[in-house]
Structure 1
Amino acid sequence: MKILIVKLSSLGDVVHAMPAVQDILRALPEAHIDWVVERGFAPLAQRCQGVRRVIASDLRRWRKAPFSTDTRGAWRAFKAELQLEAYDAVIDLQGLTKSALGSWLARLSPGGQRYGLANQTEGSSFEAPARWVAHQAITLPAHSHAVTRSRELCAQALHYRVPDELSFGLVTQQAQVSRASAGMASASGLRGTVALVHGTSRADKQWPLAHWRALAQRLNATGLGVVLPHGSPAELQTANDIAQGLAHAQVWPLLKLDALTDALDTCSGVIGVDSGLSHIAVALDLPHVQIYNFDTAWRTGPLAESPRQCSVFAQPTPSVDAVWQAWLGVSAVA
């Protein structure tokens, strides 16, 4: 059976779709699964166990110059790659116009079907074309975690029960981790490193700089080094500000997504705000505390099944003590 998953973005959403792929493979071991995703997240989809082919889209870039020669040529190439094979099932896990377009363009085998969402769930986006394109639009509970939503949609589309086991199937290559990312872990006298994921796409999700510095000092005092990833000049400045004056802190170089995933997997744990990197930490099953300024962890945060991971919520923002106690809890289980 040939199955096409359509989940274009964003980073966290791509991570949240991975368990659905693992469920399909448990139920249908002979299935061939391809995935349409935005090019920037393709390295992560390629790391998802069981995905045979990743079809990269540049919709975000194409929308900036839709009628340019380059865009027209790239669009034709994307469409040709998407239609190389015919699929028995095309499953739109995103429920947006852009994902519906990918589902509609995909070629079906005789008897093949397109599946998608029939309704919006709390806190998620939904656009009507996703329902119109689907041969079968599936209604899901309004109060659904992002991971559960994708798993349930695939299970209903392909007629199996969601398994009790949860696996993301995210494969890493620790042997290829750069010297810069592994150096802190081998520093003399340290028992490990913790990555502090301070960067996020929204300012209202950020945690105060003073809190990060106080947390880093506590980690250093217990023999743990601190490593600081970043993805923009502003995040680099914040990373440098957190590291300033600390005995055991290292600002990582700017790493590509696949290298960054490998680097995170060398850490003893991760503490971070609601961001794509934090969701990668969940997928890697690392000891992890996720910090929320809004009561939305129920739909995007670590699932309650894992004692090694938890979320901390408070307004206007969680205290250092609350995050520290949560870290002590998850790191003790590890």
Structure 2
Amino acid sequence: MKIAIIKLSALGDIVHASVAIQFIRKHIANAHISWFCDARFEQIARLLAGVDEVVALPLKDKKFLKSFEILRQKQGQFDIIIDLQGLLKSALVSRSLGKNIFGFDRFSAKEGLASIFYTHKYSCNYDKNIILRNLELCGYALNFSFDEKEILAKEPCFLKNSRIPSENSRIPSKKILIAPFASESSKCYAHFASVIKGAKEFAQCFLVAGSELERKKAAKLASSGATLLAPLDLAQILEFMDTCDLIIGNDSGITHLAWAQNYATITLFGNRSGARNAFATPKNLIIQATPKHEIDAFHIDKSDFCINDIDPAQIIAKAKGLCDA
């Protein structure tokens, strides 16, 4: 059976959907899985364990003719198409591939109009945990069910295929990787310096940063007692995580990636729901600030910086508990 999974972006969203692959493999023995993503996220998609083919579309670069030609060549090749994104853009990509499309209904999709392009529509509360939403839609499309205990027992979702030539790769003490950045300022915790100062009493802290602006901010943060890592690609970040005892961060792709790999995490949430956007386990902890208003997953209040109300001492205590476990 040839299956197309549509999850175009972004990093965290692709990570949230990644666990579905091993469930599909478990229930569909002859599955051939193609993953459609935006070209800007091709690297993380190519690290997905269990995916047979990655199809990268340069949509964010507005290369629509090239994207159309890529889709035209894939048209009619799939038995089932599953749109896990729920956007008009992803629905149009799905429809260009064929007609047997499964997606969320108009009350369940991020953009309700996307549902008019689906042949089969699944109803699921939009506020429900995103991991469960993705798995339920795949189960609906492929006629399988699952138990949440199976998520706890999942295998790592991504491949590790490079090594970091770094003298810091193995240090005989507890190591904490801190991911202090996110795609939006209201998701970024402002008191990581205090967390680092407290955590360095029992662990060595490392900082990961991407863009040049992030690296400038991280360099200032490093003065609190952390080591700023050299620029790493996603495969190298996976390898470095493998040497760490804990990853602490905002609601961002890096922290979710650590969850997907079964590493211990503490994820901080403010104006978004941690219960919806992360899957808690005994070693994957969520700290939720109290938002100014009731959280509406469809309409996020990006002026609410309540994440900064989280007490650094709470993070430090939970970090020590996980490191000592």
The two structures have a TM-score, normalised by structure 1, of: 0.85
Question: Residue 18 of structure 1 contacts residue 169 of structure 1 at CA under 8 Å; is this kept in 2?
Answer: no
**Change in CA separation of 1:168 and 1:12 when aligned onto 2, cut-off 3 Å:** farther
One-letter code of the match for 2:205? V
Aligned-partner Cα distance in 2 for 1:201–1:279? 13
Aligned counterparts of 2:117 and 2:86: Cα–Cα separation in 1? 10
1:26 aligned partner, one-letter code: K
Residue identity matched to 2:48: C
- Shift of the alpha carbon at 1:185? 4.0
Q: Aligned partners of 2:257, 2:40: CA distance in 1, in Å?
A: 15
- Rounded to whole Å, the distance in 1 between the matches of 2:228 and 2:89 is 36
Cα distance between partner residues in 1 of 2:245 and 2:165:
17
Partner Cα distance (2:111, 2:28) in 1: 28
AA aligned to 1:91 is I
Q: Where do residues 186-197 of structure 1 align in structure 2 (5 Å cutoff)?
A: 186-187=170-171, 190-197=172-179
* Equivalent position amino acid for 2:192 in 1: W
- 1:323/1:290 CA distance change after superposition, 3 Å: same
Please give the per-residue CA displacement for 1:34-71, whole angstroms capped at 9, x wherever unaligned.
Answer: 11011222222222221100000111111xxx6xxxx5
2:210 equivalent in structure 1: 231
Cα 1:320–1:92 shift into 2, 3 Å: same
Give the alignment partner of residue 205 of structure 1, picking from 168, 187, 207: 187
1:33 maps to 33
Deviation at 1:76, TM superposition (A): 4.6
1:205 Cα shift?
A: 1.3
Residue range with higher mean Cα deviation, 252-261 or 292-301: 252-261
**What's the counterpart of residue 253 of structure 2?**
276
Task: Please give the alpha-carbon distance, in whole angstroms, between the structure 1 residues aligned to 2:54 and 2:20.
Answer: 16
Match status 1:104 vs 2:81: no
The Cα shift of 1:242 comes to 1.4
- List structure 1 segments (4+ residues) > 6 angstroms apart after TM superposition: none
Q: How does 1:1-334 map onto structure 2 within 5 Å?
A: 1-62=1-62, 72=65, 74-83=66-75, 86-107=77-98, 113-121=100-108, 125-128=110-113, 130-163=114-147, 164-166=149-151, 167=154, 169-173=156-160, 176-180=162-166, 183-187=167-171, 190-208=172-190, 211-222=191-202, 224-244=203-223, 246=225, 249-301=226-278, 303-304=279-280, 306-315=281-290, 316=306, 317=308, 318-333=310-325
Cα separation, partners in 2 of 1:82 and 1:229, compared to 1, 3 Å: farther
> Is the 8 Å Cα contact of residues 8 and 38 (structure 1) preserved in structure 2?
yes
Distance 1:39 1:264 in 2: 25
The 2-side partners of 1:56 and 1:35 are apart by: 8
| Partner AA of 1:292 in structure 2 | F
C-alpha distance after superposition, 1:281-307 (max 9, x if no partner):
111111110011225101102x23x20
Q: How well do the aligned residues superpose, as a CA RMSD in angstroms? A: 2.0
Q: How many residues align?
A: 305
Change (3 A) 1:172 1:20: closer
5+ residue gaps, structure 1, are none
Q: Deviations over 1:233-280 (max 9, x none)?
A: 22111211111162xx32112222232233223322100011111110
Cα deviation for residue 186 of structure 1 reads 2.9
Query: Is this contact kept in 2: 1:90–1:115, CA < 8 A?
Result: yes
Kindly provide the amino acid, as one letter, of the partner of residue 257 in structure 2. I
The aligned amino acid for 1:192 is K
| Contact kept in structure 2, 1:17 and 1:150, CA below 8 Å | yes
Task: Check whether the contact 2:105–2:112 (CA below 8 A) recurs between aligned residues.
Answer: no
8 A contact 2:3–2:33 mirrored in 1: yes
**Aligned residues of 2:175 and 2:205 also touching (Cα < 8 A):** yes
Contact 2:45 2:54 in 1 (8 A): yes
